[in-house]
Amino acid sequence: MFFAQKYGYLHKNFSFAIRRVSCVTLHSMAAPAVITLPVPKYTKLFINGEFVDSVSGRTFETLDPRTGDAITSVAEATKEDVDEAVKAARKAFDHGPWPRMPGSERARILNKYADLVEQHLEELARLETLDNGKPLAACRAGDIPSCVKALRYYAGYADKIHGLTLKMSGEYQGYTLQEPIGVVGQIIPWNYPLSMFFYKISPALACGCTVVIKPAEQTPLTALYAAQLGKEAGIPAGVLNVLSGFGETAGAAISSHMGIDKIAFTGSTEVGRRIMEAAAKSNLKPVMLELGGKSPLIVMDDADVEEAVNLAHRAAYSNMGQICCAGTRIFVQEGIHDEFVKKAVERARQQVLGDPFMPGVQQGPQVDKAQFDKILKYIELGKREQANLLIGGKCWGDKGFYVEPTIFSDVQDNMKIAQDEIFGPVMSILKFKTVEEVIERGNKTIYGLAAGIVTKNINVANRLSRSLRAGVIWINCYLVTDMDAPFGGYKMSGIGRERSLCGLESYMQVKSVICPVYESPWL
């Protein structure tokens, strides 16, 4: 669940420009700035083409992670609201124009949607930063452009969906039809709220499905704004429904709803298991799950240490470490281990923390107090497990949910900090000797989302890439993705693949049609 090329852009264009300035120095140098915060425009549920109050009338507060203060109150969807949204989506699928219109017309609407997102880039970026805490520069340069790319990519496929002609044995002919799967329930996480919104809805809409989507309760604001832009683009009523609410209520109701034909979820493995169980117990709806990870980044002796450290820094600390495919298990071969550790600490010390609306800030707050507390708890656990805390390990600042970039060395494979997904800015460095050893240790986890390899030896790179059980392998790079590259995991990191043609096909059913080529005796 990451959108990558943006970090290459930030890395080249402003990270190095301030890399010699420590976060403490920058904080003391910077004069307080007046920041004009965006005002949320849309806070109600979006059902059947209109913003409406929840059936219960209940609301909840969405918080500013910079301070912990409330931004605004948002309508809280429950089972009754899910019922209304599914009813609208079912009517739009069974009787509405969206699945029946030419693919070229759906493409035209999706491209117009992309135009509107582009036109509102600044407002969306600022709203995302307010609700999520990620640096505004990252939202402008990466997150919002990635939404536009997703819409345009799948718009390009909308009029190219077709089946196959079948070579049948006997005197029969056949062909296949690719048909939209129906009403889709989608549940998205808080770490890339708007990007994940468009990564989910774009392929589903392109092939003619209708959607009921629930953003994370921590970050509902940009999804609701995007609902309005979809309406302006011409998406018919009932095709796109957006429900802000909690996982235990709205999310559970979506997962178990008999009127939903497919579930797509991105989030934790624990919640993914519950969603899969609910889907199986209802109408046996298929599920696509993009779940957690504990990805290894393997650094061989022949690597350029400076470059390897920069890759490891990006792998572990991008987006405040809140990335499912973050490279937080850094395996370093013994020949360069000590030098790598020293330089990794130096690099972490240069990380610039602060208000994500401020220019030059590289690391904002964690998304909420629960995540903040979880990270600090794991750091304390790492100390108790006798890993060597080299830097960080504490909260930063006097308000908000900031955690210092943290590095542990002397980490062993059986430690919780090496096995559990922390989802925060915590790097674990592990020493290894041989390729055979690191293959075994790199795979020694319940997860299999991603892995990274840093080496100048193509034979080693090829061997490792074929041996590591992960859905994405990066060689001499990290967190580089593209709409054309399938994304998903092995083992408990998920089921299925998103993005690329794989993402489109997962929202379609294949139907075989067979008939005789001669005059049938039954007619």
Q: Which residue is it, tokens 């190219």? A: 160
What is the rounded distance in angstroms from the CA atom of residue 42 to the CA atom of residue 136?
20
What is the rounded distance in angstroms from the CA atom of residue 491 to the CA atom of residue 311?
25
How high is the pLDDT of residue 7?
Answer: 31
pLDDT at residue 8 tops 70: no
- CA 105 distance to own-chain centroid: 28
What is the rounded distance in angstroms from the CA atom of residue 127 to the CA atom of residue 120?
11
How high is the pLDDT of residue 383?
Answer: 98
Sequence ranges of the chain with CATH classification 3.40.309.10: 295-475
pTM value is 0.92
Q: What CATH class is the domain 18-291+493-511? A: alpha beta
In tens, the pLDDT along 166-175 reads 989 888 999 9
- Taking residues 326-338, what's their average pLDDT? 98
Task: Evaluate whether the domain defined by 295-475 bears CATH number 3.40.309.10.
Answer: yes
Sequence ranges of the chain with CATH classification 3.40.605.10: 18-291+493-511
In tens, the pLDDT along 335-381 reads 999 999 999 999 999 999 999 999 999 999 999 999 999 999 999 99
How high is the pLDDT of residue 19?
Answer: 31
Of 76, 84, 290, 421, which residue is the catalytic one? Answer: 290
pLDDT at residue 32 tops 70: no
pLDDT at residue 6 tops 70: no
How high is the pLDDT of residue 235?
Answer: 98
Q: What values do phi and psi take at 92, rounded to 5?
A: -65, -35
Q: What values do phi and psi take at 443, rounded to 5?
A: -85, 0
Rg (CA), the chain: 24
How high is the pLDDT of residue 276?
Answer: 97
Q: Please state, rounded to an integer, the average pLDDT across all residues of the chain.
A: 93
Alpha helices of 96-161 — where are they, by DSSP H? 103-119, 121-132, 136-138, 144-155
pLDDT at residue 477 tops 80: yes
Residue 11: pLDDT band with limits 50, 70, 90 = very low
pLDDT at residue 2 tops 70: no
Residue 33: pLDDT band with limits 50, 70, 90 = low
CB atoms within 10 A of CB 165: 9
How high is the pLDDT of residue 518?
Answer: 78
How high is the pLDDT of residue 161?
Answer: 96
How high is the pLDDT of residue 522?
Answer: 59
pLDDT at residue 185 tops 90: yes
pLDDT at residue 453 tops 50: yes
CB 448 within 8 A of CB 487: no
Alpha helices of 156-251 — where are they, by DSSP H? 193-206, 221-233
pLDDT at residue 30 tops 60: no
Q: Is 270 a catalytic residue?
A: no
pLDDT at residue 92 tops 80: yes
CB atoms within 10 A of CB 395: 18
How high is the pLDDT of residue 520?
Answer: 61
What is the rounded distance in angstroms from the CA atom of residue 280 to the CA atom of residue 82?
19
- Taking residues 195-211, what's their average pLDDT? 98
How high is the pLDDT of residue 521?
Answer: 60
CB atoms within 10 A of CB 473: 16
How high is the pLDDT of residue 12?
Answer: 31
Of 23, 139, 207, 324, which residue is the catalytic one? Answer: 324
- Taking residues 427-446, what's their average pLDDT? 98
Residue 36: pLDDT band with limits 50, 70, 90 = confident
Percent pLDDT > 70 in the chain is 93
What is the rounded distance in angstroms from the CA atom of residue 47 to the CA atom of residue 238?
7
Residue 250 is classified by DSSP as I
What is the rounded distance in angstroms from the CA atom of residue 105 to the CA atom of residue 239?
14
How high is the pLDDT of residue 338?
Answer: 98
How high is the pLDDT of residue 97?
Answer: 98
pLDDT at residue 104 tops 70: yes
What is the bridge-based pairing of β-strands 426-432 and 406-409?
parallel
How high is the pLDDT of residue 499?
Answer: 96
Q: Which residue is it, tokens 């420590």? A: 22
Percent pLDDT > 90 in the chain is 91
Q: Is 207 a catalytic residue?
A: no
Residue 523: pLDDT band with limits 50, 70, 90 = low
Q: Which residue is it, tokens 């690719």? A: 178
Q: Among 136, 490, 449, which Cα is nearest to 323's?
A: 449
